[in-house]
Amino acid sequence: MAKFKLLQVAALTFAVVLSGCANKGGTEESTGAMTETTTDSTMSETPMDSTEVVIENNVTEADSGDTMEYADEVQRPYAYVIYFDFDKAAVKNDFRSLMDKHGDYLAAHPEVKVILEGHADERGTREYNLALGERRAYAVSAYLKLKGVSSDQITIVSFGEEKPIDLGKTEAAYAQNRRVEIKYQN
C-alpha cells in the first residue's frame, strides 16, 4: 500500500514538472491541483451565491495587467488548477489572469463544457470540507460567468478532502490540496 502511494506521488510529481514546461503546439493535459485547508467543524459559513465573486484585495480588471491577444482564435489555457488560501473560497489575485483565459476560451466556444471540482485539505470535518470545496467551485463558476460563460457549460462537484494530491501533513502538502480543478469535457 505504501509503495503504491509512493508511486502515485512520484507520477504526480513528474506530471507537474512536465506541465511546468512551455509546450507550444503540443497536447494539453490537466496535471495541476489546488489545495485549501479548513479549520475546525464549528465554523459556519454559508454557501456562496452563484452570482457572487470574491476576489482578494479588490483589484480591478485594469489592475491585473495581464491581457492576451490571439491571432485568430482564443486558445485553451494549459493550466487547469486554481489554488486557495486556508479556509477561504475567495479567488486569489494570482489566478485572475488564468481564469480570464479560461473564461475567454469558454465564452468563445459555447459548445465546450467544464466540470469544476472543488477540493479541500484534511483539516476540518468531512461535511465542512465538502461545503468548502463547493464554495470554491462556485467562486470559480461565478468568475467564469462574469466573463460570459453560460451556466449550461459549467457543472460543479465537490470532493472535499477525499481526493488529495499530496498526502503529507505539512503546510506545503495542504496547500496542494486546496484547489479547484477545471476539467474540460469537449
Could you tell me the three cell numbers for 20? 511546468
Q: Confirm whether 4 is domain-assigned.
A: no
Q: Provide the pLDDT confidence category of residue 113 given band limits of 50, 70 and 90.
A: very high
Q: Provide the pLDDT confidence category of residue 7 given band limits of 50, 70 and 90.
A: very low
Nearest alpha-carbon partner for 98 in 78, 118, 122, 112: 78
pTM over 0.85: no
User: For the domain that residue 60 is a member of, what is the CATH number?
Assistant: 3.30.1330.60
Q: Confirm whether 114 is domain-assigned.
A: yes
Domain of 85 in residue numbering reads as 32-184
pLDDT tens-digit profile of 74-108?
A: 788 888 999 999 999 999 999 999 999 999 999 99
Per-residue model confidence (pLDDT) at position 186:
67
Q: Confirm whether 103 is domain-assigned.
A: yes
Q: Confirm whether 45 is domain-assigned.
A: yes
Q: Confirm whether 12 is domain-assigned.
A: no
Q: Confirm whether 94 is domain-assigned.
A: yes
Q: Are 179 and 34 in contact (CB under 8 A)?
A: yes
Per-residue model confidence (pLDDT) at position 57:
42
pLDDT tens-digit profile of 57-76?
A: 433 333 333 434 433 477 88
- Taking residue 173's Cβ as centre, other Cβ atoms within 10 Å add up to 17
Local structure of residue 73 (DSSP, 8 states)? S
For 186, half-sphere exposure in the C-beta direction (CA atoms, 13 angstrom radius) is 9
Burial 2-12 (b: 16+ CB within 10 A, else e): eeeeeeeeeee
Q: Can you list the alpha helix ranges (DSSP code H) found in the chain?
A: 2-20, 96-108, 126-146, 171-177
Q: In whole angstroms, what is the distance from residue 51 CA to residue 118 CA?
A: 17
pLDDT tens-digit profile of 15-54?
A: 433 334 433 333 333 333 333 333 333 333 334 444 445 4
Tally the domains of the chain.
1
Q: Are 21 and 79 in contact (CB under 8 A)?
A: no
Q: Confirm whether 141 is domain-assigned.
A: yes
Measure Cα distances from 100 to 96, 105, 112, 139, 142 in Å.
6, 9, 16, 13, 12
Q: Confirm whether 17 is domain-assigned.
A: no
Strand partners, 35: 178
